[in-house]
Amino acid sequence: MRRLLALLASGAILLGPSLAQACPGCIESVKVAGGHPNEVLAGFSLSVLFMLGSVLAVVGGLTSLVVKAAREVEEARARALIPIPVDGRKPDAER
């Protein structure tokens, strides 16, 4: 079953680009008119790239925030741990 699923997924990935249809604006943005790209369509393509970049920046920022917070919690937990002697008594508890 796994092998069949992997084969179907591979086929979909390989055949996907040839089956995909883009909107007319996207199709025209990759065409070149007279050796120079259409400036409006090039701007459209750049705006899409800018929006993707902003999403990646937000996700990257949130990821770094979570990683930093996790490291700080781990450091605080390591500082808060008090070593317990092998004999089981807490240090300075019965003195």
**Is the pLDDT assigned to residue 95 strictly greater than 60?**
no
pLDDT of residue 54: 95
Q: Is the pTM of this model over 0.85?
A: no
pLDDT of residue 66: 96
From its phi and psi, is residue 92 left (phi > 0), alpha (psi between -120 and 50) or beta?
Answer: left
**Helix spans in 20-88 (H):** 24-30, 39-80
| pLDDT tens per residue, range 5-47 | 888 877 777 766 555 565 665 565 556 555 566 677 777 778 8
Report d(CA 1, CA 4) in Å as an integer. Answer: 5
Rounded to 5°, the CA angle 76-80-81 comes to 125
7, 8, 11, 13 alpha-carbon torsion, rounded to 10°: -110
pLDDT of residue 40: 72
pLDDT of residue 1: 78
| pLDDT tens per residue, range 50-85 | 999 999 999 999 999 999 999 998 888 888 776 656
